[in-house]
Copies of this chain bind each other. A is one copy, B any other.
Amino acid sequence: MSSDVLLSLSQKALHLLQEDADKIEKLIEVQMENLTTRKCPLYEEVLDTQIYGLSREIDFAIRAELITETAGRQILMKLERNVAQLYEAMSQNKE
């Protein structure tokens, strides 16, 4: 097996997953900025669905041995931390 090809495929896979994670980060940021308005009650559902979708992509990439479990876990953990912060801010805003 050529390690160059594998490396470039792995980098590409990581890059694609990071792009998808960044899109979710943007969703979180937008909602953070609009805490006081909270126009869209479907926000949590959209975020959950997007994160579930990304977790399936990451799981697939790990099984295909394109990325390591650690790299996959890091992407998801960062997102989940930010989502938790958002939900906390949302609930404090409600009080």
Contact = CB atoms under 8 A, between A and B. Distances in A.
A60 B2 contact: no
**Main SS of the interface on chain A?**
helix
Nearest to A17: B60
Interface stretch (A6-14, A33-41, A68-76, A79-87): A6-14
A52 B4 CA distance: 33
Nearest to A2: B2
Residue from A49, A54, A64 having most chain B Cβ neighbours under 10 A = A64
8 contacts: A1-B2, A1-B5, A1-B8, A2-B5, A5-B6, A16-B63, A49-B52, A56-B56
Interface of A: 1-2, 4-6, 8-9, 12-13, 16-17, 20, 49, 52-54, 56-57, 59-61, 63-66
Cβ-closest 3 pairs across A and B: A53-B56, A2-B2, A57-B60
